[in-house]
Structures are given as structure tokens and as C-alpha cells.
A and B are shown apart, each in its own frame.
Chain A
């Protein structure tokens, strides 16, 4: 019986190899187009791309009233008219997804001269790490895992990826806020995000008549939850960025980490200097960690003023034209060192 089973299993493996071959030639491209739009875009455009610009919604969100609706990547590209800059965007994306995109650049087809990746401070917080959007993001990269394509397709059907329920993710988020201790080099009364958040939630802002100013309290709490954390090498996003930096180092491609501007003004006025301290401390951590070798951190953290943020009631990195232009200019200035010949002053 054992011999019989071995023969049947071997036959099955041979059949699977054949089926994988058939799948690659028939349905794979269709599935890839449906599920991994960005990876298809990378593959389609890599031959003529000099610079890849990987971003989340910060790149394409504009203010409706802006007369110029160009994205940050478009505005950056204006400084290098002879180069092709290809932007690959997906809302809520983070380093865990960027690293998969990177690995799908076929260096034998064309090696890009530089890669710009947005370094979004909020993407390191518990709310983003445990966001309910994570399931969809993880689903978008299953088909390009390092297994045979047919196996990847089957794994997709089996939902074999980080596929927690919304409730589980929310619980993980809450646990993080409850249990992760905040560290300050000075005395501070709140030890966790939860304590800080609850305190502002209860005793935040009052209107002149003494009633709570609900919207302002809500926004304040968002700021706390978005930026109150201490970056360490244990943060999963730090690990992802380490991988990105390592990949670029290994393949000798210059990497520009576009540290996005945050609304420091509002963080200060709503929450206070302690939160701004944490934001700057985390920025310093990232600059120190990644600003070396062929990797450069483009620090935009404090460059955009409060009113230039298009969302005034939420924490986002969506900017009006002036904000986008400022960031694009700063990115272009960093790229200038590498592309001094191609650089043309655009505005």
C-alpha cells in the first residue's frame, strides 16, 4: 500500500506542475490584474522608468479648490523633465506592501536609478498597523508570493494571509494602546496612549458655556492615537523599512525615504508639547536609522503649515497645492545630488 500511495502522490505532484504551467498561460494575468493592480503597473512600466515613486494617498489627494491638481510625484517629475518618474499608489499602503512592490521590479529588465518611498509617521502607529484595511492590502500581494503561481492562487482562495476579522484587529489595536508604555525623558502623567486618550476624552475642551466641544475633543484624541508612540526596532514597520533599505543597498539602487509632513501646529495646540516631542523624537530615530549609505531621508515633517492640510478634522497627510509643492521641491532637492545633470528648476 505504501508503494501505491507514493506512486499516486508522485503522479499528483507531476499533475500539479503541469497545471501550474497551464495556469500561468491562461488565468494568471487576469487574476493579477484583478488583485494586484500596482504590481501589474510596476511590471508594465519598469522598462522605461528611471525613478519609482511609491506612495499612499498622500500622493494623489488634492484640495478640490486647488487650481493645480498635480500630485506630489507629478510636481517632483517637473524638476527632471528628461527622466521618467513612475508613481505607484494605493491608499493606506505602508512599508510592508512597498517591500513586496520593490521585489517585483525585475532588475534584469531595467534597473531603476532611484526609488522614492513615502515614510509616513502615522504608518508606525497601532491604528495603522492594526487597521481594518490591512486585510485588503495583504490580499493584494498574495499572488506574488515566492511560490508557484497556482499555489498562490489557491492560497488566495483559502484566505491564507493576514486575514483577521475587523473585531480582532480592533482588539489588537486597543491592546496596544492599553499595554504599550510611553517613554519620556521627563516626568509625564500618562503612561499609555489609552490613559492619555481617556483623559482628553473626558476633560478635553469646553465651549464658553462649559459644555464639551465634541469635535475638538475627537480630533485631539485622534492626534494622540496617531502619534503617541516610541519607535524601536521591534516596530513591524521599522522591520519592513529595514528590509527595503537592505534590498536597495544590495542592488545598489539609491533610496529616498520621503518623510511626510505632519500637522505639528495642530498637534501642539490640541495636545501639547509632549506629543510634538514624541513626533520629533521618532523623526530623529528614523533619520538616524536610515540616513546612511545609498539611503537618504527627506525630512518634510515640519515643512507644511496647519492650514495647508486638506483634512482639518482628521489626521492625514493630504495637502493643498502649496503643501504638495513644498514636499515635491524638497524631494527634488534631495534627488538633485544624484541627478544634477537632469535637474531643471521648475518653479
Chain B
């Protein structure tokens, strides 16, 4: 089910109402059923894959806790292999086939791929990563294995964040799901604000930018350099508004049930460096890679060459996590390279970014935005040829007037998004609004509501991160 659907606008109040009407001991059943229903609206049969992940990791965690020594590691590896295997099968099977065809043809041989018509279940990368973090934590002894299958299932299935994160840890979400939540007015108010704001940025900002960007990426060489440049910058805001919108609605939905989930964004385009960008963008994924890949690889306790390789490995795998295509790997690698360059520069020139805002920091923020925007080309492009066409269209400096694409709406909503970001710097929407006096708060709601209802995009665009 999509958050931006009429279906969801009925589903959510019903679930919230029933949740508070039911006694605590039955609430997990409601969350379980509603989460299954939420997921099954997409493709019903794929729920079976989720059930399989739940069963595997539930049993694995209980076993890991029971056994000692090498057996512990064996069960962990078995569980991780099952999770990664499922992900690999559904997400990377076709990719692997395509690459084998290319490799074989390099040697003048033919490779006939097996065609299984595999379609990626929505949000599989999120479920598997979330579930894997649990078994790893149990293995490390930092988390007790959950005995109640229902609660564990809800940890993997919890509908507000099941298809596009945030990727939660059991330590937080598991406990939140178990806690007794009473209907509190402040939770309703905060939840409502977050859902309203999330819908606003998805439907008004992202969905009004999407048609412009999609048209340019479809055939970049048809458009002027200026239009291509605009589409590159606009995509940065589209994907931000799209994903931040989803995460904010997820926060709001959970809050309405009294459940707190983590912030996935912290005004990332106000970052002064690529490394800071990654501490503000898709925070739950960055911390996952930090805790379960970067640190085990040695983190920053190793020598510079090894550390540089570790950074590149982490970013390239992160790219591959997003999508089964080499364009995503390049996207990840470019981020890694930029981060390394920044570190080398600061080490070489003993340069440190100051926390206070000054002209240099404004410059660095703009620089980081421009750099990440150009790297997004590889994320958004359908292929390397598409990315090449974008760059070619940009470089040839050909300007066609009048402009072929209406730019007013995308630019206006982007300006709104920038203002929102400056307004929200280092804080969250609900908390920020709590500092307002009632009339100002309601004036804010009124403006958001009007924009949401009267200015939302009218084409159907699902959340970009659903495909991962």
C-alpha cells in the first residue's frame, strides 16, 4: 500500500483506533495483521519471502544464544547466508546473468542465461538488512534473542517502515513494539504533523519535480544544456523529498501508535562535506554499514591505504545495495572517492571545518551539494549510456530557446524545500512546530494543507526507494 493513496488514508485511522481500543496483549496481533495486509496490497505472494526471513532469523537467533564457541559463528553464517542468498536471488540474479553473458562474450564464448523472470519484492533490501542486524547483535551478545515469534515478526514487518526503512535495530524498535502505549494527545499531534509534512514533501515537492526530471533523463540530447543542468539539480531535490517524505510519514504513523522510530534524515544538503552528508542522509543505512561492515573491516584503526580501500569497499557495496546495476556501484564509488579526497585534503593542509556558519562554510555547503548532485546522475540514469548522454548534453553548451519544459512549478517547490531545510536545520518538524504559538502553528498547517490538496502532482509516482 502506498502512503500517498486513498486506501492508506482510511487504513491508518482504522489501525490507530483499533490499536488503542485493544488490550495490550492483543495489540501485536493487530500490528501483525495490518502489516501483512499493508504489504500484500502490493504483491500478496511475496509476503511468503518475508515469513521465510522471519522464521530463519527467529530460529537462528534462539540457536545462536543457546550454543557456544564455533557453533555460534556457524549459525550466524548460516542465517546471514540465507538472508543474503534470498536477496541475491531476487535482486542480483538477472544482474549476474547479464554480466556472465558479457564476460563469456569477452572470451568469444556464448552464455545462455537461465530465464526465471525474477521480480524483486518491494523493500527486500530493507527487510533483510534489518533482520540481519538482529542476528548479528544476538551473536555479539548485545541483544537477547526474542522468544515471542509475533513480536519478532512485527519487528521485521512493522508497516510504517517495512518497505523503505528506516532500518531499525531490535534494541529500539523491538522494545518500542513491546512497550505499553497509552493514547497521549501529544503523540497524536506530533504524528499528524509528521504525516502531513511527509505527504507535503512527497506529493507537492517530489511529485511536481518528477515529470520534469523524467522527461530530461528519457532523452537528454533533446534538451538544452541549461535544462539538463536544471534536471540534475532538481533530481537531488526530488529524491530527497521523495525519501525524506516517506521517512517522515513513517515516523508520523509510528508516532500515532506511540512508537518512536529513528530519524533517517537531518537536512543533508546543508552538509559541508561528503562525509557529513552521509551522517545526515539515510542515516539508518549509513550506521548499518558502519557497524556491520566498516568497523569489522578495521574502521579507522588501520593504516591509510587499507582504510582507503575499506571506505571504497563500503561505498561500492552500499551502491550495489541500492540497485543491481554497475551505475549504482559507480555512484557509490564516486561518493567513496570524494570522501577520501576530502580526508586527504584535510590531513594534508590540517584543515578543519568549523561548526559555526561563515562564508567558507556556505561555500563548502554549496560545493557539497553540487558534487552530490552530479554523482546522483549515476544513480538516476538507466544505464551508462544514459549517464553519458546527460553529461554530453550538458557539455556541448547548446542552448535551445524558448525552453521546451515548463520549469516554474519544479523551481517553486524546490525553493519551498530549501526554505524548509533552512527552517528545520538540525531539528525535526514536529519538535520545531512545538516551539510555535498556536495561531502560527495553525497558520502553518493551513498553508501545508492547501499546498497538499491543491498543488500536489497529478501523476502517479511511487516512492523511489520502494524499488530497493
By a beta-carbon cutoff of 8 Å, the part of chain A in contact with chain B is 1, 4-5, 8, 11-12, 15-16, 19, 22-23, 26-27, 35, 139, 150-151, 153-160, 163
Shortest C-beta distance, A1 to chain B (Å), equals 5
With beta carbons under 8 angstroms apart, the residue of A1, A23, A139 that contacts B185 is A1
Q: Which residues of A contact B442 (CB under 8 A)?
A: 11, 15
Q: Cβ of B143 < 8 Å from any Cβ of A? A: no
Q: Cβ of B183 < 8 Å from any Cβ of A? A: yes
Chain B interface SS verdict (over half)? helix
With beta carbons under 8 angstroms apart, the residue of B185, B452, B453, B458 that contacts A4 is B185
With beta carbons under 8 angstroms apart, the residue of A1, A15, A151, A155 that contacts B445 is A15
The distance in angstroms between the C-alpha atoms of A11 and B458, with both chains bound, is 27
Q: Cβ of B55 < 8 Å from any Cβ of A? A: no
Q: Which residues of B contact A160 (CB under 8 A)?
A: 5-6
Q: Which 9 A-B pairs give the minimum distances between C-beta atoms?
A: A157-B456, A160-B6, A154-B453, A1-B185, A158-B6, A19-B450, A159-B460, A23-B454, A150-B453
Query: Can you list 8 A-B contacts (CB < 8 A)?
Result: A1-B185, A5-B188, A23-B453, A26-B454, A35-B458, A151-B453, A158-B6, A160-B5
Contact with A along B176-190 (1 / 0, CB 8 A): 000000011100110
Q: Which residues of B contact A19 (CB under 8 A)?
A: 446, 449-450, 453-454
Q: Which residues of B contact A155 (CB under 8 A)?
A: 6
By a beta-carbon cutoff of 8 Å, the part of chain B in contact with chain A is 4-6, 9, 183-185, 188-189, 203, 207, 442, 445-446, 449-450, 452-458, 460
Asked, given contacts A5-B188, A157-B203, A158-B9, whether A150 binds B445 with beta carbons under 8 Å apart, the answer is: no
Contact of B188 with A154 in the complex, beta carbons under 8 Å: no
Shortest C-beta distance, A43 to chain B (Å), equals 20
Q: Which residues of A contact B454 (CB under 8 A)?
A: 19, 23, 26-27, 150, 153-154
The distance in angstroms between the C-alpha atoms of A5 and B185, with both chains bound, is 8
Shortest C-beta distance, A13 to chain B (Å), equals 11
Contact of A163 with B460 in the complex, beta carbons under 8 Å: yes
Shortest C-beta distance, A137 to chain B (Å), equals 15
Contact of B450 with A23 in the complex, beta carbons under 8 Å: yes
Shortest C-beta distance, B206 to chain A (Å), equals 12
The distance in angstroms between the C-alpha atoms of A163 and B453, with both chains bound, is 19
The distance in angstroms between the C-alpha atoms of A232 and B452, with both chains bound, is 43
Q: A26 — nearest CB in chain B belongs to which residue?
A: B454
The distance in angstroms between the C-alpha atoms of A60 and B453, with both chains bound, is 36
Q: A8 — nearest CB in chain B belongs to which residue?
A: B189
The distance in angstroms between the C-alpha atoms of A35 and B458, with both chains bound, is 10
The distance in angstroms between the C-alpha atoms of A245 and B449, with both chains bound, is 40
Contact of B4 with A15 in the complex, beta carbons under 8 Å: no
Shortest C-beta distance, B378 to chain A (Å), equals 29
Q: Which residues of A contact B6 (CB under 8 A)?
A: 155, 158-160
Shortest C-beta distance, B457 to chain A (Å), equals 7
Q: Which residues of B contact A151 (CB under 8 A)?
A: 453
Q: Which residues of B contact A159 (CB under 8 A)?
A: 5-6, 460
